[in-house]
Amino acid sequence: MQIPIERDKPIPVARQIQAHLERLIREGLLGDGVKLPATRDLAHSLGVNRATVVLAYEELVAAGWARAHVGQGTFAAAPAGVAARAAARVEPAPIDWSALFSRSARTVRADAGRPRHDVVEPSGGISFAGGAPDSGLFPTDAFRRVLNRVVRDEGASLLQYYPVAGYPPLRRYLSTYLLRFGLEARAEDILIVNGSQQGFDLIARTLVDPGDAVAIEQPTYPRALQVFRAFGAELLPVPWDADGPRVDVFERLLERHAPKLFYCQPSAHNPTGLAMSPERRRGLLDAAARRGMPIIEDGFDPSLAYGARRPVPLKAQDRAGIVIYIGTFSKVLFPGLRIGWLVAPPPVLERLREAKQLADIHTSALIQAAVHRFCEGRLLDRHAVRAARAYGRRRGLLLGALGRWMPEGVTWTEPEAGFSLLLTLPSRLSAAALLPRAAARGVTFTPGTAFFVDGSGDRTLRLSFSALPAARIEEGVHRLADTIRASLKEPARVPREEDLAVPLV
């Protein structure tokens, strides 16, 4: 530790050391319980007598800023109220940071002020918010063993810098895996990324300039729309109906605005859980191919489908080579590993690789190798079947409960895939206004506006069923239905600004 000692000062050296350490503890820089350096070491590194350091520590203990444990050393102690004092610490600020922020940062901030879709649930309540898989289903121990073997067998090379494209055996596995769904991609057509989120980011930075028009399905995944907006895109919504994004609107947009690309989730649409009909897929592909415009397909996970047939990715029908496919293991496996992939035609994949290299050099090869071992040993397949069954059961329970409890005028989508459905309230109600009342009854959800590009969707809300225990679903729907019924009985009113901004506590 560096402590500035001024020997020509009238203040004793022990007092200087004590004051310095006291400030560090007071300001939260030495957190509660952090061990102070051994007196011998600190004396040595400061070039002072050990007794001087001992004295300083004794004074700290006497003043309540540290605790001494015989034989173990001295530990920082934060007296009550220290957190407040740390927060109140005034920093000199010759920089007006807010004047320096880029257009991108300002856009991101503006979007961050929108209703959140991923806020953590209240304790004790029943949450249909969030959109994560159930960590109770994670095959954690199997993964631990696989990870251990991978480090033992290939540790040194996996812990070194690694080529950007990704771990070749994982890309070869994905090539064969995607064939199951009819998606033909060679290993060299695949780029490993940090989850689908980094996929959006790399695609946006490679294809979008500020001011470019970007067509996007509506509703859609909020973090995708935020990324395109952060890179300066003007978003043009293409509304979904029961069969997918409307091709007539899509064609009109292409005609009038010549957008740079179109983003959609054809097979497991978040928030509705719907899949596009074969006709819609053909219509979108044909229109985009005619205009020479790429389609960005967010693939979610094709193994999490609840119908009789597996959904076919749009990319599998892409004879023209215009679709960039984004895949992820965050839905069926572990979101925390941050492993996803892009499939793209060679000229654009090369640029995406270059963008990835500048973004963070490469994705952890160790994690890629562990995921590969896990998949190769058919552990993924076994787990996917188990997970799809569990989520399918919850979906069924949710649909059943909605049918039993919801008042007339409430409608909802029937998810064919994914983790959620979209519910629409009777015309008088607003989901944002409903949320605090629902939370008061112990149930939460995600207001729909977050999924709408143009700020509409106030009557909609998303119910996620993936992470909620099956036993809580009925009760959650019951409470939500009660809240809606109570709200319907009140006199109509226009939602106020505060209601729209209410956090998902």
In Å, how far from its chain's centre is CA 156? 30
**Would you count residue 377 as binding a copy of itself (CB under 8 A)?**
no
One-letter-per-residue 3-state SS of 261-282:
CEEECCCCCCCCCCCCCHHHHH
Q: Looking only at residues 226 through 245 of this chain, which bind a copy of itself when binding is defined by CB under 8 A? A: 226-227, 230-231
Question: Is 241 in a helix, a strand, or coil?
Answer: strand
Query: Residue 47 interacts with a copy of itself (CB under 8 A)?
Result: no
Residue 390 phi/psi, 5-degree rounding, is: -65, -45
Q: How far is the CB of 471 from a copy of itself (least distance, A)?
A: 19
Q: Is 447 helix (H, G, I), strand (E, B) or coil?
A: strand
Check binding of 378 to a copy of itself (CB under 8 A): no
Among 9, 44, 85, 290, binds a copy of itself (CB under 8 A): 290
Would you say 288 or 406 has its CB closer to a copy of itself?
288
Of 113 and 491, the one with the shorter C-beta distance to a copy of itself is 113
Interface residues for a copy of itself in 88-117 (CB under 8 A)?
Answer: 91-98, 100-105, 108-109, 112
Could you say whether residue 7 binds a copy of itself (CB under 8 A)?
no
Using the rule CB under 8 A, is 470 a contact of a copy of itself? no
From 27-35, 52-60, 421-429, 453-461, span contacting a copy of itself (CB under 8 A): 27-35
In this chain, which of 13, 30, 77, 78 binds a copy of itself, going by CB under 8 A? 30
CB of 438 to a copy of itself, least distance (A): 23
155 touches a copy of itself (CB under 8 A): yes
195 binds a copy of itself (CB under 8 A): yes
Length of the chain: 505
Asked if 156 is part of the footprint of a copy of itself (rule: CB under 8 A), the reply reads: yes
Told to check if 81 binds a copy of itself by CB under 8 A, we report no
Distance CA 332, CA 29 (A): 40
CB count within 10 Å of CB 262 equals 26
Single out the residue of 12, 31, 64, 400 in contact with a copy of itself (rule: CB under 8 A). 31
Which range in 23-31, 244-252, 397-405, 474-482 contacts a copy of itself by CB under 8 A? 23-31
Among the candidate windows 186-194, 408-416, 445-453, 478-486, which touches a copy of itself by CB under 8 A? 186-194
Q: Which DSSP helix (H) or strand (E) runs through 29?
A: none
Q: Is the dihedral of CA 422, 428, 433, 435 positive or negative?
A: negative
Instruction: Check binding of 367 to a copy of itself (CB under 8 A).
Output: yes
Nearer to a copy of itself, 80 or 95 (CB): 95
Q: Which residue, among 204, 220, 201, has the nearest Cα to 265 in the 3D structure?
A: 220
Position 321 contacts a copy of itself (CB under 8 A): yes
Please give the size of the binding site for a copy of itself, defined by CB under 8 A. Answer: 114
**Interatomic CA distance for residues 485 and 388, integer angstroms:** 33
Q: What residues numbered 397-416 form the site for a copy of itself, per CB under 8 A?
A: none
Q: Is 388 in the site for a copy of itself (CB under 8 A)?
A: no
- Residue 103, judged by CB atoms within 10 A of its CB (0-12, 13-18, 19+), counts as exposed
Give me the torsion for CA of 240, 244, 245, 249, rounded to 10°: -100
Backbone angles phi, psi at 488, to 5 degrees: -65, -25
Q: Is the dihedral of CA 155, 157, 161, 165 positive or negative?
A: negative
